[in-house]
């Protein structure tokens, strides 16, 4: 199983100059994947509370008020990551124009030598959709069409698309991904439709630690059944588990999360230590203790 870390991107960790040294040190410790998330604003009076413990008095983590751009952060990491995979958990795809997104992701895919994982989600905060001038109610359909456009651009040249939300005139696209099918696309989500989408067309799923194992198993079966119905091999699907430790989380508790990931058949697990530490250096100290505890090499 591959172990990874979230890159310095949020709150007090949002220090662009720290990204490259963080990656070098973490690779030396044995970590083999690095991840970013996506936030565009933190409203004063939010439409929704953060699902993982938000309250009216504290609607979302303080770290969300300062966020480095996810693609820029990955690009910085890619300049020094020698063998690790770089991914998103998750980029909120419905906010983006897919033609521009394809250019950015294909460029990143080339920069990483084919080690990019495109992780997409749909967010939980309706205010962000308002700010991006995108309909919250259309987010699922918009995601599907964005996946269509990305697939077309990555697998066809010339490429052309005429859909409900986007139009791409027949065009030459000579910037090609490393793999003829494009970089792997992983999707977040919990609803049946989301899990069915993963089975039909994604390379895998981005679950969150803390969900009861029986719920994870049921959701995964939904994706696998959808894959079979679509004529795909369910065994080809991956699962990359995100762990978001809170302040005060112990090394033993992190090790328990890693053990749980392995027992439930995850292909990878990564730890976002930005909520539990105060700086990239402190995050690396915790990562080093965890690596020793669980035997990462």
pLDDT mean over 179-193: 96
Q: What domains can you pick out in the chain, each with its CATH number?
A: 2-294 (3.20.20.30)
Are 245 and 275 a contacting pair, CB within 8 Å?
yes
pLDDT mean over 255-276: 97
**Residue 297's pLDDT band (cuts 50, 70, 90):** confident
Q: What is the pLDDT of residues 212-223, one digit of tens each?
A: 999 999 999 999
pLDDT mean over 7-27: 98
pLDDT exceeds 80 at position 11:
yes
Q: Which residues of 100-111 are buried (b: 16+ CB within 10 A; e: fewer)?
A: ebbebbbbbbbb
pLDDT exceeds 90 at position 126:
yes
Nearest partner of 287 among 67, 47, 23, 79, judged by Cα = 23
Rounded CA separation 131/40 (Å): 8
**Residue 111's pLDDT band (cuts 50, 70, 90):** very high
pLDDT mean over 229-238: 98
Cα-only R_g, the chain: 19
pLDDT mean over 68-91: 98
pLDDT mean over 99-120: 98
């Amino acid at each position: 199983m591959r172990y990874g870390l979230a890159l310095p991107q949020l709150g007090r960790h949002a220090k662009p100059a720290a990204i490259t040294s963080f990656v070098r040190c973490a690779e030396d410790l044995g970590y083999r994947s690095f991840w970013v998330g996506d936030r565009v604003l933190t409203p004063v009076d939010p439409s929704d509370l953060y699902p993982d413990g938000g309250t009216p008095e504290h609607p979302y983590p303080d770290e969300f008020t300062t966020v480095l751009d996810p693609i820029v952060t990955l690009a910085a990491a890619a300049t020094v990551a020698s063998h690790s995979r770089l991914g998103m958990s998750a980029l909120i795809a419905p906010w983006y124009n897919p033609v521009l997104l394809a250019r950015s992701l294909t460029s990143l895919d080339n920069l990483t030598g084919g080690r990019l994982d495109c992780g997409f989600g749909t967010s939980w905060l309706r205010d962000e959709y308002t700010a991006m001038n995108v309909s919250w109610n259309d987010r699922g359909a918009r995601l599907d069409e964005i996946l269509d456009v990305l697939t077309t651009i990555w697998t066809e040249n010339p490429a052309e698309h005429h859909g409900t939300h986007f139009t791409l005139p027949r065009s030459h696209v000579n910037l090609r991904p490393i793999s003829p099918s494009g970089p792997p696309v992983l999707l977040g989500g919990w609803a049946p439709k989301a899990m069915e989408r993963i089975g039909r067309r994604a390379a895998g799923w981005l679950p969150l630690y803390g969900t009861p194992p029986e719920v994870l198993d049921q959701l995964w079966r939904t994706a696998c059944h959808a894959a079979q119905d679509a004529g795909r091999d369910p065994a080809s699907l991956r699962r990359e588990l995100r762990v978001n430790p809170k302040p005060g989380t112990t090394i033993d508790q992190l090790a328990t999360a890693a053990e749980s990931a392995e027992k439930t058949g995850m292909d990878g697990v990564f730890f976002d230590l930005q909520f539990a530490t105060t700086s990239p250096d402190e995050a690396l100290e915790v990562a080093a203790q965890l690596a020793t505890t669980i035997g990462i090499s």
